[in-house]
A and B are shown apart, each in its own frame.
Chain A
Amino acid sequence: MAKLVERTEDNDLVLRAKTQAEALGRLYEMYYERIFRFCVYRLFNKEIAEDVTSAVFLNVARGISNFKGQSEQDFRNWLYAIAANQANAYIRKSSRRKKLLAEAAGSMIPAAAGSADMTFEPDWPGLYAAILRLKPRHQTIVTLRFFENFSYEQIAQILEVKEANVRVTLHRILNKLRNQLQTVYDGEI
């Protein structure tokens, strides 16, 4: 009986979270780590990721009563959209972006001599430095696709664009990213 009650309530979790702190708390437990991780991928620095994660969930607390979605999928899309916007807002300030670039550059393992061939693999700071040079929206797509393993469909839902649009954009992004990586490891950051 207890299990049945629990299951019924879970189906209703997002609806209940609009009015009940207990349900919102459960959603928080389900998504905190995912959003924090997303923020780390987007912002490199864990302290900054904490700040942005805080901003995301405080926005959720303020806005959930007016949130129109009903399912957990709706909530997830909404949550990631907020997280992407918050991360983008942070990065858009050029001084912050420079700081993140400098931090990533400082952590990079320099490419070995003659490593510019096809077998060379970037480390995380190097890759981050290259990603950071993309447009914020494109950074979001890269993070959602490759770091969060979201499908094209899910990314399209979060960004409220067509799936085909995500596919085409990602193809272009990867071309850019390849160039950026070359630049980063050529020491141009």
Chain B
Amino acid sequence: MFKDEADFEKVVGRLNIDTEPNPEHKQNLRRQMLSVFNQAEQESSTRVIVFRTLRSVIMKSPVTKIATAAAIIIAVSIGIHYLGVPIDGASVAWSQVIEQLSNHTKYKCRQRVVREQGPEYPTMQVYHLNLQQRRQEVENGDIHIIDMRGEDAITVELKPAQMKAIVTTLIGFGPKNDPDIIDMVKRFEQESTERLGTKTVNGKVLQGFRHKPNEYNDFTVWVDPKTKLPVEIELKHPTAKQTIYMDQFAFDFDLDESAFSTDVPDGYEVENLTLDYRPVEPKQGTAEDIRTGLNHTAYTVEKLPWMEKIIMIETIDPLGTRAKVYITGIQSNDGNTIITVQGDYYDIKRMVWIPNQQLVMETPSGVKLYTHPNGSEYARYYLEAFGKASPESFDIENLSEERFTRMIVMPDETVIGFSANKQISDEKLQELVESLKEIKAD
């Protein structure tokens, strides 16, 4: 038998146990798990959905650093707020502050975000008209208007210096409430709100309160004992390594409602963008669909002798950005599946991370190919999306470990995602890249 622990360890070490997993189970479970994950994401509260989407869109993943105007505008206000479950319950300890806050439906403040990593957010004056309308005056002179009252949320980014405006319609996004920090402060729980004593700022004594609902959010609120209204709010996000500072509060500001209008003033050059938040079922499409569906140059692959089949698919971005993408799938005569991906936000101005990657090819016509830091995962998502939309073209079971991704930057700065299930020779790759042709109206 065995004498002691060491002896038992040896006994176990000599056992022959079959623990080889079934690859099919592994693959199916992976898909099922990510589906459950995505579903759970969709079922989360609005602010959490928006926050996560924006985190994944903007802050972290080089896959999707699609710094859209709308995303930035909303991120500045939503992404910085509350991380996690909603705060419930009124506070008696806060009763006077809450009572005062309840008397005010609108407020303005200065908002600064200090981040240890990721893109910087600009300092801005934020005017909250109500829980669905907001105006942000950025330190560089830009103005953002956010209106989430309708079925389609609208963000307007005005750049007075350049007389340019970017109007982004988030189709099917709303109506939703703005995740408003004052609204959250009003609901701090009594038991977990700690008094911090006082501090003096500009000769004024302030009373401090601290509320730490979880490890993701740590609020400090400094209140003027006379007005019983917040003077400073500091919200630390230890996990995200950022702190938001709000000060210069003014409640019931006097600003005409027209300041919250999403109508662009005369004289501005307007760029219209859309982000489609409606559910999209994948469907096969044509080159014409891609051309009309994109707000920038669309490309198609010219059929080469080694290409057996080319299929175009319109689907929702499998990376969860909610944007629509166009996938062109190519079956080669050596059994490889190659896909190109185009979307509204595939351009070098928005995918600013691409030039930092390794340049692996530059064709005589000036097309550049870069590596992708998460190339294997990116390829998996897009190949799976392609296989789901066109099962007869690509069987997900055939997903290869060789799969890889390159980001193609066309001379006009349009970006095209490129993934292949198996390795491809440089010659073929160059042929394919050079076969990319602009889709024209005729």
A interface, CB within 8 angstroms of B: 1-2, 5-6, 9, 12, 15-16, 18-22, 24-26, 28-29, 32-33, 36-37, 40-41, 46, 50, 53-54, 57-58, 60-62, 64-66, 68, 70, 118, 120-124, 127, 146-147, 170-171, 174, 177-178, 181-182
Q: Which of A26, A46, A64, A177 contacts B8 (CB 8 A)?
A: A177
State the Cβ distance, A16 to closest chain B Cβ, in Å.
5
B352 within 8 A of A: no
- CB-CB contacts below 8 Å: B1-58 with A: 1-5, 8-9, 11-12, 14-19, 21-22, 25-26, 29-30, 32-34, 36-38, 40-41, 44, 48, 51-52, 55-56
Q: Is the CB of A170 within 8 A of B19?
A: no
Residue ID in chain A nearest B238 by CB atoms:
A70
B29 & A32 in contact (Cβ 8 Å cutoff): yes
Please determine whether A178 and B2 come into contact, CB atoms closer than 8 angstroms.
Answer: yes
Q: Which of B229-269 contact A (CB under 8 A)?
A: 239
Interface of A is mostly: helix
User: A118, B3: Cβ atoms under 8 Å?
Assistant: yes
CA gap between A45 and B381 in the complex, in Å: 32
- 27 A–B pairs (Cβ distance < 8 Å), ordered by A: A16-B61, A19-B55, A20-B61, A21-B38, A24-B33, A24-B34, A26-B377, A32-B26, A36-B26, A37-B21, A40-B18, A50-B21, A50-B29, A53-B25, A53-B29, A58-B36, A60-B33, A61-B40, A62-B37, A65-B40, A68-B214, A68-B215, A70-B239, A124-B15, A127-B11, A171-B5, A174-B4
Most chain A CB neighbours (cut-off 10 Å) among B11, B12, B34, B44: B12
**B206 contacts A by Cβ under 8 Å:** no
- Top 3 A-B residue pairs of the complex, sorted by shortest distance between their CB atoms: A61-B37, A19-B52, A61-B36
Closest beta carbon of chain A to B134's beta carbon, Å: 23
- A residues near B374, Cβ cutoff 8 Å: 6, 9, 22
Complex Cα–Cα for A26 and B215 (A)? 25
A41 close to B30 (CB less than 8 A) = no
Contact of B29 among A6, A18, A54 (CB under 8 A): A54
| Structural contact, A146 and B29, CB atoms closer than 8 A | no
Q: Per-position contact with A for B188-225: 1 when CB-CB < 8 Å, else 0?
A: 00000000000000000000000000110000000000
- List chain A residues, Cβ under 8 A from B30: 25, 28-29, 32
CA distance A121 to B319 in the complex (A): 52
Q: Enumerate chain A residues within 8 angstroms of B8, measured Cβ to Cβ.
A: 146, 174, 177
> Distance (Å) between the CB of A30 and the closest chain B CB?
12
Additional 8 contacts, C-beta under 8 A, given A62-B36, A174-B2: A25-B34, A25-B380, A54-B29, A58-B33, A64-B37, A121-B1, A146-B12, A182-B1
Residues of B within 8 A of A171 (CB): 5
For A65, list chain B residues within 8 Å (CB). 40-41, 44, 48, 52
Within the complex, the shortest CB–CB distance from A158 to chain B, in Å, comes to 19
CB neighbours of A123 from chain B (8 A): 15
Does A54 contact B14, Cβ atoms closer than 8 Å? no
Nearest chain B CB to A185 CB, angstrom units: 9
Inside 8 A of B56's CB, which chain A residues have their CB? 19-20
B15, B38, B52, B356: the one contacting A5 at CB < 8 Å is B356
Contact A61:B19 (CB < 8 A) given known A19-B52, A68-B214, A170-B5: no
Contact of B1 among A33, A40, A118 (CB under 8 A): A118
Residues of A close to B25: CB separation below 8 A = 50, 53-54
A127 and B52: CB pair below 8 A? no
Q: Please tell me if the beta carbons of A22 and B377 are within 8 angstroms of each other in the complex.
A: yes
| Cα–Cα distance between A24 and B353 once the two chains are bound (Å) | 22
Given contacts A50-B25, A66-B84, contact A21 B37 (CB under 8 A): yes
Q: Name which residue of chain A comes closest to B320, CB basis.
A: A21
Q: Note all chain B residues with C-beta closer than 8 A to A26.
A: 377
| Residue numbers in A under 8 Å from B48 (CB-CB) | 65
B357 touches A2 (CB 8 A): yes
Q: Whose C-beta in chain A lies nearest to the C-beta of B56?
A: A20
